Amino acid sequence: MTVSRQFLPLGLLASLLAAGCALPPTVGNGPSAPDSVVACYDTARELVIRTPAALCQGEIVDARKAAKIEAARSRRTQTAARKLRPETVPADRRLAGNGTGLLVGDGEILTNFHVVQNCPIVTVTSVDGTNAPSTVRTADAAKDLAILSSDLETSGVAVFNSDPASASPYRLAVVGYPKQGQTTVASSLTPAIARPQDLSAQDPMFLVGGSVWPGHSGSPLVDQSGNVVGVVRAKLDAVKLYQKTGELADNVGLAISNAVILEFLESSGVAVRLSPSTATLTDEEILAKSQGFVVRVNCWR
């Protein structure tokens, strides 16, 4: 696997942290009217996203065509869902959505609370396609974190970075199951960056430069050694930011800090593995290591 590491400048990440999330005027193609938010058909992923016109890298479509594309995407998703449906899910249940989780202990999987919120049935899937039922053991809506219990067998357990100074902010990666037109079968690696001080801060969340998509929720943000330095929560809403400031920004996500994660896991009685990061692995090695503990989390309704 070859990965091109192209990022949003760290200067933009810094400016986003300023009051009002103001962005420098050089981002994108310049400001335009707020009503220029369009339905953009991403042909590579075969899905429609709402975005400022200047950020559309596909075809701008009208509401009728957007609805047809979304209907076709839904049919593909449900076809893929039938292939991963475990016997414990009744036939009348449909896959409502999916996110990502990471194995942090003996059958204990960490994910975002919003991934499993109001899900009557939750299942998890390992990289080899094995499915297993799971239950929500502990949840904290304010922190947007949840722990699932499952008997799914994986080949590894997540290791958290115990020394933030040992993590390279320029060699981060998100490993998860982004939705790209239909349910993603295999986890993938997306390069990312962050500000050095954010990795060691006690703030609940920090900004990440990188391509974050639906389905990445709950994905581990790992460093150059494949150790966890945060958990992805969401992509920054480029449309709302544009409507508020008139500035354009893309490829910016929000991650929950290790400080919050480790406190949550400790209070939940989960004994985590901690280690400083020393070795610098290739992207292929990081992905292989992460796939041992990263799982897809499926919400059935």
pLDDT at 196 over 50: yes
pLDDT at 261 over 80: yes
> What's residue 32's pLDDT?
38
> What's residue 192's pLDDT?
93
> What's residue 10's pLDDT?
44
In a domain, 61, yes or no: no
Q: Which residue has the higher pLDDT, 177 or 38?
A: 177
Residue 254 near residue 230, CB atoms below 8 Å: no
Q: What is the mean pLDDT of residues 215-226?
A: 96
- Per cent of the chain over pLDDT 70 is 78
Q: What's the domain count of the chain?
A: 1
Average of per-residue pLDDT values in the chain: 82
pLDDT at 262 over 70: yes
In a domain, 110, yes or no: yes
Residue position matching structure tokens 């949550």: 264
CA atoms within 13 A on the CB side of 298: 31
CATH number for the domain spanning 203: value is: 2.40.10.120
pLDDT at 178 over 60: yes
pLDDT at 21 over 50: no
In a domain, 300, yes or no: yes
> What's residue 139's pLDDT?
97
In a domain, 49, yes or no: no
In a domain, 202, yes or no: yes
Q: What is the mean pLDDT of residues 264-272?
A: 96
- In whole angstroms, what is the distance from residue 141 CA to residue 112 CA? 9
Q: What is the mean pLDDT of residues 136-140?
A: 97
Residue 171 domain boundaries: 1-24+96-301
- Residues facing 296 on adjacent strands: 100, 125
Nearest to 184 by CA among 91, 266, 298: 298
In a domain, 36, yes or no: no
Span 44-74, pLDDT tens digits: 767 787 777 777 878 899 988 888 887 787 6
In a domain, 1, yes or no: yes
In a domain, 39, yes or no: no
